């Protein structure tokens, strides 16, 4: 007999027929001559009620069906008399795979703190929150691919190990096979030629530079993979390892990129509203009562567009007291971004044309000589969710800017080659996957939206 998933059972049009269900016990209670066992199997947030009659041969087994035990049930699918459930199973056969000793099993029926669950991250997918989280991440990952595929983008896996140490996005982890207890030396310095790759290598902070090689040959491409920051940031918004989505589009300027970012975010949010209603309702109820309305608002709004210079004027004219100063030339802080998108505009805002001095070397210079074609997409409740730019496609301008900012033309000869031969206008952005999951679920700490978080002094499991 083939297993039926609880999600498929609950989606049936009518009761009747025998089914095989396999899963883990959430709760159990007895009422007179009947026991009710609720099980889950990961396919949906909802439990399924199993009814075991006292007269059943299997009734004594119920004794062992504590929270966390794993079982198989064969029984008749019938309409449930109980509240809040459509169907239940009248158990005909019961098999116990594994018990869970209530004396030691850490996941009892009560509510556990997220901090506690982090310490047992190997068991937390068994909770409602982390089961729902896994389904949300899955749905959002699928949406990422289906959005780009539907627009003819090619998925490219860019390298994780890189010898480039100047991608300009923060501290990097070194990768090595050298014996740290006895580092080989040559002429007094570390002999990097003895390392696995013959030189120092690092974990990537972005696939952008590499994927530009594909955009400038195959037009529309994106990457979706892990990226890394060796920053000692112990905040609720930072991970040392996180996943990032980076589309890169040839023959595209910043306006086209802003359109793409808007379409992309709306697609992801519409996808979860449509496909994850049950899990979203759970997060909306227990974590943040504004998430569904926020997502619905974004999906139905047209993103506002402002230049950085306009944004600075708005902030200066706001009369607000900010913790950080507002001055043309200084970067916008989270409080500024939130003021603009939440208070001033009330919907997502694309801010463009930032001062070149605070942006990376590869962004396209504007004719004013002061600003670059950068953009940040700001959304209510968190501020910046996407950062991107039109890339500098003019060889001389790029070479000059690299020289100015101390990026080695010798090391990035290949990046310059993309401008030397058949250069094209192109643009791309990056979206941090976990921050987006945080935004969509309302879960306050980013450590709770990824399977096994890596943060300073923490690489458990």
Using CB under 8 A as the binding rule, the residues of this chain from 355 to 414 that contact a copy of itself are 393, 414
DSSP 8-state class, residue 182: G
Q: Name the minimum Å distance from CB 196 to a copy of itself.
A: 6
By beta-carbon proximity to a copy of itself, the closer residue of 339 and 361 is: 361
By beta-carbon proximity to a copy of itself, the closer residue of 358 and 459 is: 459
Q: Which stretch binds a copy of itself (CB under 8 A): 20-28, 279-287, 308-316, 332-340?
A: 20-28
By beta-carbon proximity to a copy of itself, the closer residue of 96 and 270 is: 96
Q: Measured at the alpha carbon of residue 265, what is the angle toward residues 169 and 248, in degrees to the nearest 5?
A: 50
By beta-carbon proximity to a copy of itself, the closer residue of 79 and 101 is: 101
Strands 34-40 and 48-53: antiparallel
How far is Cα of residue 192 from the mean position of the Cα atoms in its chain? 35
By beta-carbon proximity to a copy of itself, the closer residue of 330 and 395 is: 395
54, 79, 108, 157: which one binds a copy of itself (CB under 8 A): 157
Question: What residues from 338 to 357 belong to the interface with a copy of itself (CB under 8 A)?
Answer: none
Q: Is 116 in the site for a copy of itself (CB under 8 A)?
A: no
89, 203, 306, 398: which one binds a copy of itself (CB under 8 A): 203
DSSP bridge pairs for 38 = 27, 49
DSSP bridge pairs for 155 = 222
Q: Which backbone phi and psi does 43 adopt, to 5 degrees?
A: -75, -20
Strands 349-355 and 304-307: parallel
Q: Name the minimum Å distance from CB 357 to a copy of itself.
A: 28
Q: Is the CA virtual torsion 101, 102, 106, 109 positive or negative?
A: positive
Other Cβ atoms less than 10 A from the Cβ of 269: the count is 23
Q: What is the maximal distance between C-alpha atoms in the chain?
A: 86
398/416 Cα distance (integer angstroms): 8
H or E element in which residue 395 lies? helix 395-405
103/23 Cα distance (integer angstroms): 21
Q: Which backbone phi and psi does 258 adopt, to 5 degrees?
A: -65, -40
Q: Name the minimum Å distance from CB 214 to a copy of itself.
A: 5
Question: What residues from 204 to 263 belong to the interface with a copy of itself (CB under 8 A)?
Answer: 210, 213-214, 217-221, 225-226, 228, 230, 232, 240-241, 243, 250-251
Q: Which residues contact 258 (CB under 8 A, 6 or more apart)?
A: 303, 305, 350, 352, 375, 377
By beta-carbon proximity to a copy of itself, the closer residue of 314 and 416 is: 416
Q: Is 158 in the site for a copy of itself (CB under 8 A)?
A: yes
Q: Name the minimum Å distance from CB 379 to a copy of itself.
A: 23
Question: What residues from 417 to 456 belong to the interface with a copy of itself (CB under 8 A)?
Answer: 417-425, 450-452, 454, 456
Question: What residues from 41 to 70 belong to the interface with a copy of itself (CB under 8 A)?
Answer: 41-43, 68-70
Measuring CA to CA, which residue among 86, 87, 442, 84 is closest to residue 73? 87
Q: Which stretch binds a copy of itself (CB under 8 A): 178-186, 317-325, 363-371, 384-392?
A: 178-186
Q: Name the minimum Å distance from CB 132 to a copy of itself.
A: 10
Judged by CB under 8 A, the number of residues near a copy of itself is: 107
By beta-carbon proximity to a copy of itself, the closer residue of 17 and 456 is: 456
């Amino acid at each position: 007999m083939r297993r039926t998933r609880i999600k498929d059972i609950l989606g049936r049009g009518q009761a009747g027929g025998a089914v095989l269900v396999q899963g883990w016990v959430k709760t159990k209670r007895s009422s007179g001559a009947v026991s009710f066992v609720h099980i889950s199997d990961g396919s949906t947030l909802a439990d399924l009620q199993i009814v075991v009659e006292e007269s059943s041969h299997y009734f004594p087994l119920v004794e062992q069906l504590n929270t966390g035990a794993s079982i198989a049930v064969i029984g008749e699918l019938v309409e449930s008399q109980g509240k809040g459930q459509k169907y239940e199973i009248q158990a005909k056969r019961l098999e116990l795979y594994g018990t869970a000793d209530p004396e030691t099993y850490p996941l009892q029926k009560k509510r556990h703190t997220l901090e506690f669950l982090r310490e047992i991250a190997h068991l937390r997918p068994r909770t409602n929150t982390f089961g729902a989280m896994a389904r949300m991440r899955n749905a959002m990952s699928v949406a990422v691919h289906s959005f780009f595929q539907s627009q003819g983008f090619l998925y490219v896996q860019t390298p994780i190990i890189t010898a480039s140490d100047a991608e300009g996005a923060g501290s990097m982890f070194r990768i090595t096979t050298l014996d740290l207890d006895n580092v080989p030396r040559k002429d007094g310095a570390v002999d990097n030629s003895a390392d696995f790759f013959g030189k120092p290598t690092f974990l990537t902070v972005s696939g952008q530079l590499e994927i530009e090689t594909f955009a400038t040959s195959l037009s529309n491409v994106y990457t979706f993979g892990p990226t890394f920051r060796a920053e000692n940031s112990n905040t609720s918004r930072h991970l040392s390892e996180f996943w990032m989505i980076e589309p890169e589009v040839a023959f595209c300027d910043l306006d086209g990129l802003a359109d793409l970012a808007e379409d992309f975010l709306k697609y992801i949010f519409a996808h979860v509203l449509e496909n994850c209603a049950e899990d979203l309702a759970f997060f909306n109820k227990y974590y943040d009562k504004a998430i569904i309305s926020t997502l619905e608002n974004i999906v139905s709004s047209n993103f506002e567009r402002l230049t950085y210079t306009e944004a600075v004027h708005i902030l200066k004219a706001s009369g607000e007291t900010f913790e950080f100063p507002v001055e043309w030339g200084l970067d916008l802080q989270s409080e500024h971004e939130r003021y603009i998108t939440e208070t001033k505009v009330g919907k997502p805002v694309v801010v463009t044309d930032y001062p070149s001095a605070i942006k990376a070397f590869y962004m396209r210079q504007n004719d004013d000589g002061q600003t670059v074609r950068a953009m940040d997409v700001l959304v209510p409740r968190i501020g910046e969710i996407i950062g991107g730019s039109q890339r500098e496609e003019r060889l001389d301008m790029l070479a000059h800017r690299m020289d100015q900012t101390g990026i080695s033309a010798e090391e990035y000869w290949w990046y310059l080659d993309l401008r030397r031969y058949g250069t094209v206008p192109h643009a791309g952005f990056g979206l941090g996957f976990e921050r987006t999951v945080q935004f969509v679920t309302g879960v306050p700490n980013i450590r709770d939206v990824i399977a096994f978080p890596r943060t300073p002094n923490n690489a458990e499991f």
